[in-house]
Structure formats: structure tokens, C-alpha cells
Structure 1
Amino acid sequence: MFFELKENSLFVADSHYNEKNKQFLIFLEKLKSKEIECKQLILMGDMFDFISSESKYFVKRNQKLLDIINELSNDIDILYFEGNHDYNMQPLFKNVKVIKREKQPLLLNYKNKKIAICHGDIFTPKSYDIYCKVIRNHYLLIFLNMLDIKNFISKKIYYALIKKIICFDFKEFETLALKRSRNFDADIIVEGHFHQGKQYTFGNKRYINIPSLCCSQEYSILKDEQFIKIKLNK
């Protein structure tokens, strides 16, 4: 595992990959062909509209992308921050380092600065924390998979998520970002989850929200201490 961010690291968040939102597949194929190049890739969570290692239906639906990620991890340092749509992921990967929700934020060093990275669904009410522990329980998910005869549960989840509207302008986001930044002991805070792609400076802290690859077709590159948004060309 690496503990220092490298120059030109790529950050990708909230692609919510499904049959309608295919930007993540396009991005991965560009990495594979070396049209996009990097040595360090940070996947910020909710990369799939839903997946867990226990769900055979969703693993099968997303196997092509999982295979590409595993292939890329032979040459690229990849960190995968689990989100609220993708969890219990480590069994699906060989060389990718998966950061579970309870291990977030992860603190990394970059040019003598301390950077805190997380998906963004932490520092939440206790009731949500309990919900997260229950829904991620390995044995519960195995049991539910056994009940998923002919994938009727999984298909209902899949098609319900496809209809969900996830791209919106959060008008009070700066207020929320300020409130959230107070929870972090770091110079730079990097989150996904909120799909806003905005940056703020609060005193001696910088707050970075990585854009949603699904919503704005953008990812970010860390260069000269700046998080620069890059448009994904199809």
C-alpha cells in the first residue's frame, strides 16, 4: 500500500455504472489503451450503481469492468474507496487496495501536506451508521443472495436505480462543505458522494469535491497542488 500521493494521480468519483451510464467503462478502456495514462488511480466510490462481492447477479453484470480494473492494477497503484453503492469489494480484486467505510478518511501525504480522502458518507447520524453496518453484513448479504431466486430481488434493485435521478445542483453545498471540513484534521479534504465538483478554501483548509463522472463526464488530476477537472472524451 502507498501512503503518498503522486503527482498526476487521477481521481474518479460516482460513475454509477449501469447500462445507461457507461462513462466508467469508457474511462477504463482509455486507461487500458493508454489514451489516458497514470501511475496512481483513486476510485472514490459509487463507481457502480450497485455491487457487492456477495451479489452474484451484480458481479456478473459488472464482470467486464472488474476484469479491466484487475488488469490495470498490475501496472497502476489503485485505491478503491467504498461508497454507499459499492461495498465488500476486496474479494473481487487482486492488487487493488480497498478502503472500507469504517477506515475512511484515509490520510495521505503530498508535498508536505496532509490529505484526507473519503467517499463522503461519513460523519453522519448514528442511525445511518447502524444502517451501513447492517446492510454491509457479509452473512446477511449471502442469505439475501440465496433468496434471490431467478434474480428477482437484484433485478428490482437494478431497474429502480436506473430510474433514480442523481444529478442535481446543491445550492447550499458551500455551507455543507464548511460544516464537513470541520470534522477533518487535514490540509486538504477530498470527497466524492455529493456530485457537485466544487472546491472551497476555509481558512487553512481546502475542500475538494471530485465531480461525478456520470453527471458531468469529468474526472480530476492532481497537478502542482491543484485538482484539475478533465472532460472525458467519448
Structure 2
Amino acid sequence: MTFIEDIILKEDAIFIADSHFKQGDNALIESFQRIPKGVQVFLMGDIFHLLIGALQSSRLENQELISIICHLSWNNSIIFLEGNHDFSLQSIWQNRLDSTNANLCNKTTLNRQKMSEYQSCLDSLSLDYNPSNIRIYSHSVQPIILRNWQNCFCILAHGDLWINPFYNQYRKILSSDALIYIFKLLDKLSYGIIYRNISCKIAQRTLAKFSFYRSDFVEFMFERIAQY
């Protein structure tokens, strides 16, 4: 739980959640491009179908929408809450690409062409954004609590908090530094092949559709609120 005093939720703020961006999702790209300048934007998690910010292959796969969010940051304030499909986002919007791939390239003489092609793609990931206009809130610090334009408290989270103890533990392990380090190592050693295979399998899963008109919506709503 995080109290935020230097952000006021504005009346015309835009909220986007669970858009699950995949390559080729032109409709979502166009929606982001139509966001008016100066509007406060809350990205409420799972904006990407799979984005592990610490993995360069994952950034490469999602480069189109990442670049648009970067472009938005020059004219819009963006508050990004991590979901369970997009995490380790601090690696994208606070740190530049590291140099370990160049070191790896110097140490190996195998498959130089593949490494050269992979490195060329990574070099294209240089980001231009306004860091003062992008706030990232990891899953572990949610919900965030802030005031709105009417001085009322608002509690914001991705929505999968406190579902059950097993899920909470799973989420902690998934975003742990140790596991992220292993993911990064495997990503570099495999030139992104392992990540792409995992991403492909996740992309094939059918997402459960949510409707406000479902027969048990009221029960679902009160049950979820009670967990908070």
C-alpha cells in the first residue's frame, strides 16, 4: 500500500486496463495515438499481453507500444501500475539498455551472424521519453492511494490483489530479483528463442472475457471489494 501526495487524480483522466497488447494490434495502437495532449493517463496493468521489462527480447517484441507510451510522456502524465502480464517495468523507463550483450558477443565465436542480427535489433530499442512524466508502481506496492480533484481518497490497483495466499506468493516469486536474473541470463544465452517460445504459448491462451452484464456481477463486485 502506497500513499501518494504529489499526484492529484484529475477529472478528465483516462484509465486503460487489460488491453493485452500483441504485435499487430493496430486498433489498440490507434487508440493510444488518439489520446489528447495534456490528459492524465492511468495504465492499470496488463496493458501488454506479456512484457517482462528486464528482458530485451520482450522489449523488442513490444517495441511499438512502448515507443508510443514514451512519445506520450512528452505531453502527458502517465501512471503505470504493473499487472501480472507486464512487470519489471522499471527496467524500461528508468534504465538504459545494459552492455552485457556486447560483452557476450566478444566472448563467443559461435553463431556470429545470429548474434549480429539479434544485437542489431536490440540497438534499435533506444528510448526517448520524459522520465519525470512516467511513474511506475510495481505489484508489491499496490494499491496506491491518492486524492482526486474533489479531495476524495481514491484507491487504485491492478485488481488481482489478495485473491488468495497461493496467488500472492506466486506473484512474489515471479517478480523476484533472483528469477528475473535467471530470465535475463536465459534470454541472452538463447538470443531470445526461449522467450519467444514462452510468449507464443501465452499468446495462444484464450483470455476469460469479463462483462458488466454478467448475471453475477453484483456478487463478484462486492466479493472483490471485500478483499480490499
CA contact (8 A) 2:54 2:92 kept: no
The 5 A counterparts of 1:48-87 are: 48-87=48-87
Distance 2:52 2:169 in 1: 18
Q: Residue 144 in 1 paired to residue 202 in 2?
A: no
Distance 2:26 2:143 in 1: 28
Change (3 A) 1:5 1:19: same
Aligned equivalent of 1:217: none
Deviations 1:153-180 (A, max 9, x none): 2122221222222152463232121012
Aligned equivalent of 1:211: none
CA contact (8 A) 1:15 1:23 kept: no
Change (3 A) 1:128 1:63: same
Aligned equivalent of 1:123: 162
Aligned equivalent of 2:100: none
Change (3 A) 1:50 1:118: same
Distance 1:179 1:138 in 2: 32
Change (3 A) 1:156 1:173: farther
> SS of the counterpart of 1:67?
helix
CA contact (8 A) 2:54 2:91 kept: no
Q: Residue 159 in 1 paired to residue 200 in 2?
A: yes
Q: CA deviation at 1:131?
A: 0.9
Distance 1:20 1:75 in 2: 25
Aligned equivalent of 1:13: 17
Distance 2:226 2:193 in 1: 43
CA contact (8 A) 1:10 1:38 kept: no
Q: CA deviation at 1:134?
A: 0.9
Deviations 1:41-71 (A, max 9, x none): 0001001111122211111111232222122
Report the residue type matching 1:15 in the other structure: S
Q: CA deviation at 1:102?
A: 1.6
Deviations 1:175-207 (A, max 9, x none): 1210121244xxxxxxxxxxxxxxxxxxxxxxx
Aligned residues: 180
- What fraction of aligned residue pairs are identical, expressed as a percent? 25
Change (3 A) 1:26 1:43: same
- Report the structure, 1 or 2, having the larger strand content: 1
CA contact (8 A) 1:11 1:43 kept: yes
Aligned equivalent of 2:141: 103
Q: Residue 134 in 1 paired to residue 173 in 2?
A: yes
Change (3 A) 1:3 1:169: closer
CA contact (8 A) 1:8 1:38 kept: no
Report the residue type matching 1:174 in the other structure: V
Distance 1:153 1:159 in 2: 10
Give 5+ residue unaligned stretches, structure 1. Answer: 185-234
- Report the structure, 1 or 2, having the larger helix content: 2
Distance 1:12 1:89 in 2: 16
Aligned equivalent of 1:228: none
Aligned equivalent of 1:30: 34
